[in-house]
Amino acid sequence: MQSLKSNYFQLFNLPQSCEIDQEALNDEYRKQQGEVHPDRFANAEEHEKLRALQLSSYLNEAYETIKSPLRRAAYLLALHDIDVEKVDQNDLSMDLLLEQIQLREKLDELPKDESALADLDMLRAEVISKLERQENRFAEFFVVANYEDAKKVYHELQFLNKLRNEIDAGEELRLGY
Amino acid sequence: MALLQIQEPGGKQAKPLHRLAVGIDLGTTNSLVSTSCGLRVETLPDSEGEHLLPSVVHYRKDESPLVGFQAKALLVEDPLNTIASAKRLLGKSLAELKSQHGYLPFEFDNSRDDGAPAILTVAGSKDAIQVSADILSTLVSRAEASLKGALEGAVITVPAYFNDAQRQQTKDAAQLAGLNVLRLLNEPTAAAVAYGLDSEDQGNVIVFDLGGGTFDVSLLSLKRGVFEVLATGGDTNLGGDDVDHVIADWIASQMSESTGIEIPSQARLLQLANEAKHQLSDQKVATISSEAWSVKLEESTLKELTADLVRRTITSCRRVLRDAKLAVSDIDNIVMVGGSTRMPLVRDAVAEFYGKAPLTNIDPDKVVAIGAGIQADVLIGNKSADSFLLLDVNPLSLGIETMGELVEKIIPRNTTIPVAKAQEFTTFKDGQTVMTLHVVQGERELVSDCRSLAKFELREIPSMVAGAAKIRVTFQVDADGLLSVSAEELSTGKKAEIQVKPSYGLESSIIEGMLQDSHSNAQSDMETRSIKEAQLDATQLLDAIANALRVDGELLSEAEVGTLAESIKKLESIMANGSSVQIHAATEELNQVSSEFAAKRMDLHIANALRGESIDAVEKQAD
């Protein structure tokens, strides 16, 4: 494992890109975790234990970031000095907001019992296909170094992701989990 | 330089140094100890040949305590000095305990400052840590006698749902028993370890653990020697005892239908029920007889009686799949743990849900101890470093209280540990120099619905306007699932930190309840949250305007002050009981009305600053 300062992509020997080889990531993560995990140092000196804790935590954070398409997108932008936490109102188009309102209304109008499950599945499928489309758009802008537009697409991804989580929560609610 | 090994000519090759380490299943009812005996890991019997050690301790005056079967035999005779199920007391306060269990057959020590339950015995006051330590010591002596040497380390298993306090107290008990704890291991994970190595499995594994009183289900991913816990779930009030109860009720109702039968005591009914349950493990029909009366219990009847209990286990199975975002078809193996999984109807229900038969070839009572023994062997260094690794998750979300009694989750549940996450917070009031950090555990959005773990303060924050200070709060959870929290003010580097060691933990049924609540209340939480956030925004604006008026009020005409006052009044009244949308609208209106004032202030202050006078000085004059 390389130093704590290295970039997450380099850490996993992956090219710095929007699309990643998930299998290669998993393999590399497991291999490195096998080297730095505190369990490998259960019998070691205190300072070695502490170092293992830090390296292993760092590796987990890096892995979670690269694995999730949304977090990966934010990270890629951050590597190009774009802070996604700073939301410019102009980044959010009226079309995007209207679409979000419509999708949310659809979700809110569904009955609050099991009869809504099929509709929830349909709504989720719709959101997932939108997510995939936006992930592709993000990649298109990113590849040509158009980070401003990539950032706008990132915010769309954020909205859609949140909506997807709410659909999942709504489903659990109706299944009585 | 490596040391040379001196070998007798023609003699056997010197054995590599084997370090003694054990795995311990510290159970509620029974405990076991296991160790590596050459190629296999096996549980160790006592001198009588018994592998299970009842988790019961009997205290005596001026004599060492009795542990195990001898103690269990004295439960009825001397209940005040005989302690069973001490594991249920770990990490709990006396108050919690009394509210949950009602009558307890002990005299408690009320002089404890920490509120922990301690039982008064002839050998003095004993808390759950001491009782657990006595059980552990007995297992250590057994292992040392059998292995003929001192132990260098142990892996101790804990339920997946054990919280921070319960894990910490388990570690404390081990320390008291003089044990070096290599790792606390989740019980279901240990079971998967036992099967993982024996059968060299790859893929996704469900561990279905139905014990006497609790149910746990975990989903693990196994790949190239790495075990990764993807999700855990369960029900802390579900187990074989519930089956005994429904059978006992059924027997009583059968008896009341026949005339001239006197229904025996509940204890006797439960004994009959338990016998019938065991008969049905390998027969289709059980015969229950009490004196001259007898009745037959068919498997199909038992299936009807337990339908609801079994359905509850399957609901938890579904939930764990959802948490891991996997489908039934993604599951490659199901491991059965706990004596209650010997019931064919449980195995059938599990097989039906997952569409494949569960693994049952390791004794379900020993499988956890065996897994712990395997892990102990690896951690002590007897196995090479490229052997398997275990990645665990934290079972409950960890967060911090923010303004408005809301919880900001820092580490969501089912995050792989160890993990460190940092988040930046800021001050809420102008000139705020102290920030209280309140660490909570749970899934709900309001602090009052979560469990408070610890509170500490970061002091000497430099005085700044609200929102200017940057305080980075870092949560670190180690591989045992124990949390520490630190806070740092970034401009000065001022730090405060705490190792979270609450005096007692959560009742596990409370954890379960908290998980369920978080889902059923998600909707109402969200509206409450938006109202609280809107109220917060409004308060901040009102504070800022009040402050500005105090300092620079003379910049405004009487009419302007009047308009402003009107908007303030309006916002204040809406804030109290308006919806989030109404509060937002009123806040926005006040913002508009006050923007002229803000511009005038800005001009004045810039002018002052240009004159070489600090803004601070201007404000002081105005005061």
- Residue-averaged pLDDT of chain A: 87
Q: Could you read off the pLDDT of B472-523 as tens digits, one per residue?
A: 888 988 888 888 888 888 887 777 766 554 333 333 333 344 434 444 444 4
Share of chain B above pLDDT 70, in %: 84
pLDDT for B370 equals: 95
Dist. CA A12–CA A60, nearest whole Å: 12
Which one of 3.60.15.10, 3.30.465.10, 3.30.479.30, 2.60.34.10 gives the CATH number of domain B394-520?
2.60.34.10
pLDDT for B4 equals: 36
Q: Does B182 touch chain A (CB under 8 A)?
A: yes
Dist. CA A62–CA A159, nearest whole Å: 23
Q: Does A106 touch chain B (CB under 8 A)?
A: no
pLDDT for B239 equals: 84
**Domains with residue ranges and CATH for chain A:** 8-67 (1.10.287.110), 89-175 (1.20.1280.20)
Selected residue with higher pLDDT from B419 and B525: B419
Question: Is B457 annotated in the active site?
Answer: no
Q: Could you read off the pLDDT of B216-256 as tens digits, one per residue?
A: 898 888 766 666 778 888 877 788 888 999 999 999 998 88
Q: Does B479 touch chain A (CB under 8 A)?
A: yes
Q: Could you read off the pLDDT of A125-137 as tens digits, one per residue?
A: 999 999 999 999 9
Q: Which two tokens stand for residue B229?
A: 């816990």
Contacts of A39 in chain B (CB under 8 A): 183, 378-379, 389-390, 479
Which one of 3.30.420.40, 3.30.300.340, 3.40.50.300, 3.40.50.11890 gives the CATH number of domain B18-179?
3.30.420.40
Fold assignment, B523-622: Substrate Binding Domain Of Dnak; Chain:A; Domain 2 (1.20.1270)
Selected residue with higher pLDDT from A9 and B106: A9
Nearest neighbour of A39 by CB, restricted to B389, B520, B522: B389
Nearest neighbour of A43 by CB, restricted to B380, B386, B415: B380
The answer to whether the beta carbons of residues B578 and B586 sit under 8 Å apart is: yes
Does the distance separating the beta carbons of B418 and A56 come in below 8 Å?
A: yes
Give B144's pLDDT tier (boundaries 50, 70, 90).
Answer: very high
Q: Is the ipTM of this complex over 0.85?
A: no
Share of chain A above pLDDT 70, in %: 96
Q: Could you read off the pLDDT of A39-52 as tens digits, one per residue?
A: 888 878 888 988 99
- Residue-averaged pLDDT of chain B: 81
Residue B456: what are its φ and ψ, rounded to 5°? -150, 170
Residue located via tokens 């594991």: B87
Q: Does A83 touch chain B (CB under 8 A)?
A: no
pLDDT for B11 equals: 40
Q: Specify the amino acid at residue A71.
A: R
- Give me the mean pLDDT over the B204-222 stretch: 86
pLDDT for A69 equals: 92
Q: Could you read off the pLDDT of A56-78 as tens digits, one per residue?
A: 999 999 999 999 999 999 999 99
Selected residue with higher pLDDT from B507 and B153: B153
Sheet architecture: strand order including B435-441: B406-411, B398-402, B435-441, B451-458
Q: Does B224 touch chain A (CB under 8 A)?
A: yes
Other C-beta atoms closer than 10 Å to the C-beta of B155 total 30
Nearest neighbour of A38 by CB, restricted to B228, B418, B516: B418
Instruction: Tell me which of B125-134, B378-387, B481-490, B542-551 is least confident.
Output: B378-387
Q: Could you read off the pLDDT of A135-151 as tens digits, one per residue?
A: 999 999 999 999 999 99
Q: State the nearest Cα–Cα gap between A64 and chain B, in angstroms.
A: 9
Q: Could you read off the pLDDT of A103-121 as tens digits, one per residue?
A: 888 888 888 887 888 888 8
Q: Does B478 touch chain A (CB under 8 A)?
A: yes
Q: Could you read off the pLDDT of B429-446 as tens digits, one per residue?
A: 888 888 888 988 887 788
Dist. CA A136–CA A124, nearest whole Å: 18
Give B101's pLDDT tier (boundaries 50, 70, 90).
Answer: low
Dist. CA A176–CA B55, nearest whole Å: 36
pLDDT for B225 equals: 60
Does the distance separating the beta carbons of B520 and A42 come in below 8 Å?
A: no
SS3 labels along B356-379: CCCECCCCCCCHHHHHHHHHHHHH
pLDDT for B444 equals: 78
Selected residue with higher pLDDT from B70 and B618: B70
Considering only alpha carbons, which residue of chain B is nearest residue A29?
Answer: B226
Q: Could you read off the pLDDT of B7-27 as tens digits, one per residue?
A: 333 444 444 567 899 999 999
Nearest neighbour of B386 by CB, restricted to A27, A34, A57: A34
pLDDT at B162 over 60: yes
Selected residue with higher pLDDT from B51 and B187: B51
CATH 3.30.420.40 residue ranges for chain B:
18-179
CATH 3.90.640.10 residue ranges for chain B:
241-308
Other C-beta atoms closer than 10 Å to the C-beta of B411 total 20
The answer to whether the beta carbons of residues B43 and B369 sit under 8 Å apart is: yes
Q: Specify the amino acid at residue B42.
A: E
Contacts of A23 in chain B (CB under 8 A): none
Interface of A with B in 1-60 (CB under 8 A): 26-27, 30, 33-35, 37-40, 42-43, 53-54, 56-58, 60
Interface of B with A in 509-538 (CB under 8 A): 516, 519-520, 522-523
Question: Is B299 annotated in the active site?
Answer: no
Contacts of A30 in chain B (CB under 8 A): 223-224, 226, 228, 389
Does the distance separating the beta carbons of B378 and A177 come in below 8 Å?
A: no
Dist. CA A175–CA A116, nearest whole Å: 10
Q: Could you read off the pLDDT of B535-583 as tens digits, one per residue?
A: 877 887 787 788 778 777 777 788 888 888 888 888 888 887 777 778 8
The answer to whether the beta carbons of residues B388 and B227 sit under 8 Å apart is: yes
pLDDT at B157 over 60: yes
Dist. CA A127–CA A138, nearest whole Å: 16
- Calculate ∠ Cα B599-B601-B602, nearest 5°: 65
Who's near A120: CB < 8 A, 6+ residues apart? A110, A167, A170, A171, A174
Give B607's pLDDT tier (boundaries 50, 70, 90).
Answer: low
3-class SS at B150? coil
CATH no., domain B241-308: 3.90.640.10
Instruction: Tell me which of A73-82, B283-292, B368-377 is least confident.
Output: B283-292
pLDDT for B518 equals: 44
Q: Could you read off the pLDDT of B164-198 as tens digits, one per residue?
A: 778 889 999 999 999 999 999 888 889 988 886 44
Residue B88: what are its φ and ψ, rounded to 5°? -70, -15
Q: State the nearest Cα–Cα gap between A106 and chain B, in angstroms.
A: 15
